Chains A and B, each alone.
Chain A
Amino acid sequence: MKPSTTARLNTTLAWVLLVFLVAPALVAIPVSLTSKTFLSFPTDELSLQHYRKLFGSAEWMSSFWQSTVIAVASTLLATATGTLCAIGLWRVSSKAGEVMRAVLLLPLVIPPIIAAMAFYRLFVPLGLIDSYPGLILAHTVLAAPLVLITVSASLAGFDVRLEQASRGLGASGWTTMRRVILPGIKPGVMAGAVFAFISSWDEIVVTLFLSKFSVYTLPRRMWNGIRENTDPTVAAAAVVLMVVTLVAFLIWALAARARAKGLKHG
């Protein structure tokens, strides 16, 4: 059937909308290259001074480092617990298991502001406010459901007979897990880890409550910069934040392609 005029018009509109979804974020790039010392678009010449300032600033660099440490640590924790849990629920595969899955996905659907209150309330008496363990644990809880989802999706395509064959040939539960199940769902685990990393790397609402002076992540410092709305270094930081996110996106896209191939051949 030939597409109608309305349908073609709609397709054009959709392309405009999609470009409009991505384009505004790119505005941070020209702003970060301004030669002026206040937030503005460059008019005559471009300058890298704000990047020099960003990478020369002890404060911004410590925020980079702290964000990286927190994101890596919470990614490891979330990937380990999330993957184990997904395998566990896959093995259980019962009504109770599905209820449990819904409960464990709650950190994903409950508004972050409520999570922030909950962590804050718990961490103040424990002395975990403004500390690495506090932020790492909080980000782990928020990120683990993402791992649970991606690994569960991988397991849905995993042939349960492979596990039975391995057990039938005498392998222990642990060996089966390490040598049969984990290799089979590796792309899903990788994708989950990337999600977990991004979710911690970009996290701001919970971090606003939990970080005060000594632990100050990149989004936390950007938040201040955005509130003050004067220093163009924030634009340079935004570009760096975006680049890291997009690199992670590429890794995820490649993992997804590998997963699709694996399903086709498997």
Chain B
Amino acid sequence: MTPARPRLNAGWLLVLPLLALVVALFLGPIVNILWLSVTDPEPGLGNYAALFTSDSLGKILWTTLRICVICTVISVILGYSIAYAMVHAAESDRKRMLSLLLVSFWISVLVRTFSWLMLLGRNGLVNNGLEAIGVISQPIAFMRNELGVLIGMVHYMVPYAVLPILASMQAMDGRVVSASRSLGATGAQTFWRVYLPLTRPGVVAAALLVFIINLGFYVVPAVLGGGKVLMVAEYISVQVLITLRWGTAAMLAALLLFGVLALLFLMSRFMKLSTVFGGART
């Protein structure tokens, strides 16, 4: 055996280039932004105090949280249904299902948002179709409101919800279901009392993952919200690029950052993060 010390050093040497890039270009500037949130325009907690005094800030945070919660609940329920079907499908079907899931995962968010624009507009396919078959007489407003943002976000988030749930279902010992059935429980009882509780870590991890990505979502709310549904990420970009109020933007970024890190920590208690992030793309 080679002595441990030189091997250790060689290993760290290989880590160095990426570490240098991440620290210099990413973590350093983020620390700078955290600093800005308590120094710009003047030192103190003024930017944070504005949270309690400014109506617009409160409204934006409330909109963001509300949309994130609704989107998370819907995505996790739909994701659970897909994951359940995948686990119980035959091998060949499961592969086909996984392919569909991954293809949707891979298509650019920009392309998908553009497509929703075409589908949901006043003269979009959905409205025209519904009018043609006589279901509605007036076009439904699907866009420039929370409904449109929710449709686009749920559509984007479902694959993210499926993967952690799928992992927890696959890790489960299938014999407990047989045991429950042979002890006389009905299918429904088995599902609610045995299956669902056993997959809870996956559900919690999925919910947290979806919620985290939703919190900082920019593209879908900006396009499908059409300026009417302002969420945190879009508001930050306006502060930085247009009104140049770095202090407010930095304060919101700090809130977002600590929120995300706290949720990640919580998530790591329910599931090994590598299962989620490693599994997310394989």
Query: Chain A residues in contact with chain B, CB under 8 A?
Result: 1, 3-4, 6-7, 10-11, 13-15, 17-22, 24-28, 31, 39-41, 80-82, 84-85, 87-92, 94, 97, 100, 102-122, 137-138, 140-141, 144, 146, 148-150, 152-153, 164, 167, 173, 195, 198, 202, 204-205, 208-209, 219, 222-223, 226-227, 229, 234-235, 238, 241-242, 245-246, 248-249, 253, 256
Q: Separation in Å of the B49 CB from the closest CB of chain A?
A: 21
> Are B85 and A116 in contact, CB atoms less than 8 angstroms apart?
no
Taken together as a complex, chains A and B put the C-alpha atoms of A195 and B30 apart, in Å, by 25
Q: What are the residues of chain A within 8 A of B10 when measuring CB–CB?
A: 88, 91, 173
Partner of A92 from the list B11, B17, B125, B159 (CB cut-off 8 Å) is B11
**Any chain A CB within 8 A of the CB of B172?**
no
Partner of A249 from the list B1, B106, B181 (CB cut-off 8 Å) is B106
**With contacts defined as CB atoms under 8 Å apart, how many contacts are there between chain A and chain B in the complex?**
259
> Are B103 and A246 in contact, CB atoms less than 8 angstroms apart?
yes
Chain B, range 34-56, C-beta contacts under 8 Å to A: 36
**Any chain A CB within 8 A of the CB of B32?**
yes
The number of chain B residues with a CB under 8 A from chain A is 90
Taken together as a complex, chains A and B put the C-alpha atoms of A150 and B282 apart, in Å, by 8
Q: What are the residues of chain A within 8 A of B21 when measuring CB–CB?
A: 81, 137, 140-141, 144
**Any chain A CB within 8 A of the CB of B2?**
yes
Q: Which residue of B is nearest A98, CB measured?
A: B274
Partner of B119 from the list A24, A108, A195 (CB cut-off 8 Å) is A24
Q: A112-B216, A144-B21 are in contact. List 12 more A-B contacts (CB 8 A).
A: A81-B18, A84-B15, A84-B18, A92-B15, A97-B11, A100-B19, A109-B264, A111-B216, A114-B257, A219-B110, A222-B114, A238-B114
Q: What are the residues of chain B within 8 A of A202 when measuring CB–CB?
A: 108-110
Interface stretch among B76-84, B134-142, B196-204? B76-84
Taken together as a complex, chains A and B put the C-alpha atoms of A18 and B96 apart, in Å, by 10
Taken together as a complex, chains A and B put the C-alpha atoms of A155 and B115 apart, in Å, by 39
Q: What are the residues of chain B within 8 A of A105 when measuring CB–CB?
A: 277
Q: Which residue of B is nearest A118, CB measured?
A: B29
